[in-house]
Amino acid sequence: MSTNQDIMKAIKDLTAAVARLSAKVDESELANRTMVEMRWSEISQKIDIFTNLSEQSAQHLAEAGAAGATVRKTKANRPVAFKKLFLEDREKYMNQLYTQAEIDLFMQHEDVVKKTKAQDKYSKIAALIYNNHIKTDTPAGRNSAFESVYSNI
């Protein structure tokens, strides 16, 4: 009888060992699946970055002859376009889109005064002029003057 008991014990031990081995395989498979999903997520993010290259980068790639590179031409929105015009050459549209008196007035504005760099101050002044004069068409004709400039951009 002891042989039957020994055989039964060996079968139980083997069954337990197979169950532990099966659990380890399941854990390993889960860990591998998780790692593959993480890698796939990273690859997807990198693909998104490549497909959403900036216009300048895409243009550079197109000029370099890279296959599949496309250049999207988009027009800056009105506030951004105005700020760009204002910052590039303030004198060009003086007395057409804004006056020196308005610039001087906004130079005293609390949001401008707290800026430390001149570039930041002029950026804020551009935003204030756009919001307070061009967008509201004050004085009359400012909005249409800007629209004629904006349409040529």
Question: For 26-53, what is each residue's pLDDT tens digit?
Answer: 888 888 888 888 888 888 777 777 776 6
Q: Report the C-alpha gap between 85 and 97 in whole angstroms.
A: 10
pLDDT for residue 58: 62
List the single range of 5-14, 17-26, 73-82 with lowest mean pLDDT. 73-82
Question: For 59-115, what is each residue's pLDDT tens digit?
Answer: 666 666 655 555 556 777 888 888 898 898 888 888 888 899 999 999 999 999 999
pLDDT for residue 14: 93
Question: For 126-144, what is each residue's pLDDT tens digit?
Answer: 999 999 988 888 888 888 8
Average per-residue pLDDT for the chain: 83
Q: Report the C-alpha gap between 75 and 48 in whole angstroms.
A: 23
CA distances from 58 to 45, 65, 70, 153 (A): 18, 11, 6, 21
String of b and e for 116-136 (b: at least 16 CB within 10 Å)?
eeeeebbbbbbbbbbeebbee
Residue whose entry in the numeric block shows the structure tokens 């003057």: 145
Nearest to 97 by CA among 141, 127, 136: 141
Mention every residue, 6+ apart, whose C-beta is less than 8 A from residue 39.
none
pLDDT for residue 75: 74
